[in-house]
Amino acid sequence: MKRILVTGGAGFIGSNFVRLLLKERPEYHVTNLDKLTYAGNLSTIEDLNSYTQYRFVQGDIADHVLVQSIFSEGVDAVINFAAESHVDRSIEDPGVFIRSNIQGVHTLLEAARTHHTQRFVQISTDEVYGELGKEGLFTEQTPISPSSPYSSSKASGDLLVQAWNHTYGMHTNITRCSNNYGPYQFPEKLIPVIISKALKDEPLPIYGDGSNIRDWIHVFDHNYAVLSVLEKGTSGRVYNIGSSNEKDNLTLVKLLLDILGKPHSLITFVKDRLGHDWRYAIDSSRIQNELGWTPRYSFEEGIQHTVQWYLENQVWWKSLLEKQ
């Protein structure tokens, strides 16, 4: 397994995964396919061009001709990070989510099947499970019950992957991860939004009363888990990935303000999002027991590292905000 196709590798999680591969698996030849939508841009991956075993291809995973041409050159494994991922945008315009997260997955699966690709890893989300009450954790046996156009489109892509495994015998895996944070996250998600607005002393919009709970994981930990699934995952398996770091949104925002030395008075409560799931939490015991993966970052260490990165890389995220 030497020729690796990473889709969505100019985005937040995908770009960090490509860096991991290039640094820790120099024997792999990596093709990065990304459409370069608003959330994927060349400034995020400009440092990768120095690697001789790396190439970038701009394109859409739903483009049948392009995808087939890439696979015809030889692809041993594909890791599909490419997706429309922002829930608010999915509520405003579900159509683009259908194209990327369903039609795009179908295009990749068919290319992988016809070209006998050895492994297919679908990067999904814990949001396909719906929401939890005060108790319990999502396991791989939790029935999917998506609440938004985004999570519904991701669940649909997952079902396609499972069908190609069952029907055609393809070696596939699905990973479902909790909320990621870390370097290069596009400044529309909660943590970079809070950092960028707090630095300008702007009001910080918090949905509802801020009681919604998420399970947070550093993107580096997530990507090590994905690498473990790529290299050691049992065919047909779903693997949940999480760090057992549950935080309600209000507590998280207050922590960020304390790190930045900004007053809590910047917090402003706004009308809640449509269909807003209350709580997510992951049971990651399967991947820990079967593949030996464990998270390396404590939340306290990871969030400090993340804030420092955004402070040191303001040119990067400010340039993205200017394009909005």
What span, in angstroms and rounded, lies between the C-alpha atoms of 240 and 272?
28
- Residue with the bigger pLDDT between 83 and 34: it is 34
Q: Please work out, in degrees rounded to the nearest 5, the angle formed at the alpha carbon of residue 311 by the alpha carbons of 87 and 127.
A: 20
Please, what sign has the CA dihedral across residues 7, 11, 17, 18?
positive
In whole angstroms, how large is the CA radius of gyration of the chain?
A: 19
Class of domain 3-186+216-245+275-299: alpha beta
Q: Is the pLDDT of residue 323 over 90?
A: no
Q: Backbone phi, then psi, for 31, in 5-degree steps?
A: -105, 125
Strand partners, 58: 34
Per-residue pLDDT of 29-81, as tens digits, reads 999 999 998 777 888 999 999 999 999 999 999 999 999 999 999 999 999 99
- Residue with the bigger pLDDT between 218 and 98: it is 218
First-to-final CA distance of the chain: 39
Domain boundaries defined on the chain = 3-186+216-245+275-299
Residue 173: count other Cβ atoms within 10 Å of its Cβ: 23
Per-residue pLDDT of 95-120, as tens digits, reads 888 899 999 999 999 999 999 999 99
| pLDDT over 90 percentage in the chain | 83
Please, what sign has the CA dihedral across residues 200, 268, 245, 86?
negative
Q: Is the pLDDT of residue 123 over 80?
A: yes
What span, in angstroms and rounded, lies between the C-alpha atoms of 323 and 171?
40
- Mean pLDDT value across the chain: 94
Q: pLDDT value at position 189?
A: 87
Q: Is the pLDDT of residue 308 over 90?
A: yes
Q: pLDDT value at position 33?
A: 98
Per-residue pLDDT of 154-189, as tens digits, reads 999 999 999 999 999 999 999 999 999 999 998 888
Angstrom CA distances, 49 to 10, 18, 55, 124, stand at: 12, 11, 7, 27
Q: Which two tokens stand for residue 242?
A: 């999480």
Q: pLDDT value at position 40?
A: 73
3-state secondary structure of 178: coil
Q: pLDDT value at position 324?
A: 63
Per-residue pLDDT of 226-270, as tens digits, reads 999 999 999 999 999 999 999 999 999 999 999 999 999 999 999
Q: pLDDT value at position 309?
A: 97
Q: pLDDT value at position 213?
A: 92
The identity of residue 312, as a single letter, is: E
- Compute the average pLDDT of residues 18-39: 94
CA–centroid distance for 113 within its chain: 24
The residues assigned a catalytic role are 126-127, 150
- Residue with the bigger pLDDT between 134 and 120: it is 120
